[in-house]
């Protein structure tokens, strides 16, 4: 599975004045991603996904008083 960040979202974090489109991409193991999706018993109010280009994907699950953070490493092809 390949996770990509939209260029418009990623570009706002780097520089609001640059016109070139920047992508972040990370290939993760689908079995680990499946465990992440079905292993949680909470229904988060918000999920934040950060992608470090060819390094890892980071998820924040935010609920009332609880925040859970996950790291999934990229798979080398």
Q: What is the DSSP string of 8-73?
A: HHHHHHH-SS--S---EEEE--HHHHHHHHHS--S--SEEEEEEETTTEEEEEEE-SS-EEEEEEE
Residue 49 lies in a domain: yes
Q: What is the pLDDT of residues 11-67, one digit of tens each?
A: 444 445 555 677 889 999 999 888 888 876 778 899 999 999 989 999 999 988 889
Whether residue 3 is predicted with pLDDT greater than 90 in this model: the reply is: no
pLDDT of res. 76: 83
Provide the residue range defining the domain that includes 61: 30-73
Q: What is the pLDDT of residue 6?
A: 53
Q: What is the pLDDT of residue 11?
A: 44
Number of domains in the chain: 1
Assigned domain for 41 exists: yes
Does residue 9 lie within any of the structural domains?
no
């Amino acid at each position: 599975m390949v996770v990509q960040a939209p260029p418009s979202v990623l570009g706002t974090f780097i520089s609001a004045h640059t016109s070139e489109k920047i992508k972040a991409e990370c290939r993760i193991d689908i079995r680990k991603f499946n465990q992440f999706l079905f292993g949680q018993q909470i229904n988060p109010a918000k999920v934040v996904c950060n992608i470090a280009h060819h390094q890892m994907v980071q998820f924040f699950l935010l609920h009332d008083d609880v925040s859970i953070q996950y790291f999934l490493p990229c798979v080398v092809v």
